[in-house]
Every structure is written in C-alpha cells, then in structure tokens.
Amino acid sequence: MAYQLNGTIKLISDTQTFPSGFSKREFVVTTDDKFPQDIKLECLKEKGALLDNVKEGERVTVHFDLNGREYNGKYFVNLTAWKLEAGGASGPAAPDDAFPEDTTDYGSSGDEEIPF
C-alpha cells in the first residue's frame, strides 16, 4: 500500500553502502501538520538519486511504502520512498473533517426545556 507525505526536507544524509552491495540514503521531512513531526524515510538502491535534485529546506511531496519486519524478536518499520516531487503542496494541511458538525434535528421545536 502506498502513502503520501507533504512537508519540508530537514536533513539529507550521505549514501550508505554495505559490503553486500546494497545501498540506501536516509532523509528527514518535517510535516505540515498542526503539530509538525520529523519523519525519517529512506531511498533504497538507485532510488537514492531522487535526493540529488532537492535540498534541505525545500518543500516536497514524498510517495512511500510502509515496510515491517521482525529480527531476533524485535520489530522494525521502514518508510521507503519511491517518488519525490519538489514543491509539494502549499500551505498547511486541510482541517480534519473526521467529525463534521452535527446538524441532526431530534424533533424538538427548540422551545422545550431539557428535562435534566
């Protein structure tokens, strides 16, 4: 399942190359939420080149996958970026509409007093 994140690049690390030939490059994005958070993501193998065209402080939209695994009884989660769009969405995130205003008419005429 793919996810998307808008924010500003806070940090871009150097490419890490391992003896097996595997490489990754990590970066941190500060979200545009009401309570901003620093989210660490990674680009694997040739996707590390996605970070060559952006710089710290630049707004981006990151498309990523969520990967989980177990190793020696411990559980790990990685956010693996596969697409990076410079510019990102402008302005703060839209307000949360999870709880819309209740406009239900429960049959009262408005003149009655509440019985408690």
Phi, psi angle pair for 72, to nearest 5°: 55, 45
Domain that includes residue 7, residue range: 2-86
Own/partner long-range contacts of 39-45 (Cβ < 8 Å, ≥24 apart): 39/5, 39/7, 39/79, 40/79, 41/5, 41/79, 41/80, 41/81, 42/78, 42/79, 42/80, 42/81, 43/80, 43/81, 43/84, 44/80
CATH number for 13: 2.40.50.140
Whether 26 and 78 have beta carbons less than 8 Å apart is answered as no
User: What tens digit of pLDDT does each residue of 4-58 get?
Assistant: 999 999 999 999 999 999 999 999 999 999 999 999 999 999 999 999 999 999 9
User: What tens digit of pLDDT does each residue of 74-97 get?
Assistant: 999 999 999 999 886 544 444 444
Q: Is residue 50 part of a domain?
A: yes
Number of domains the chain is built from: 1
Q: Is residue 82 part of a domain?
A: yes
Assign residue 103 a region: left if phi > 0, alpha if psi is -120 to 50, beta otherwise? alpha
Q: Is residue 11 part of a domain?
A: yes
Q: Is residue 109 part of a domain?
A: no
Q: What is the pTM of this model?
A: 0.72
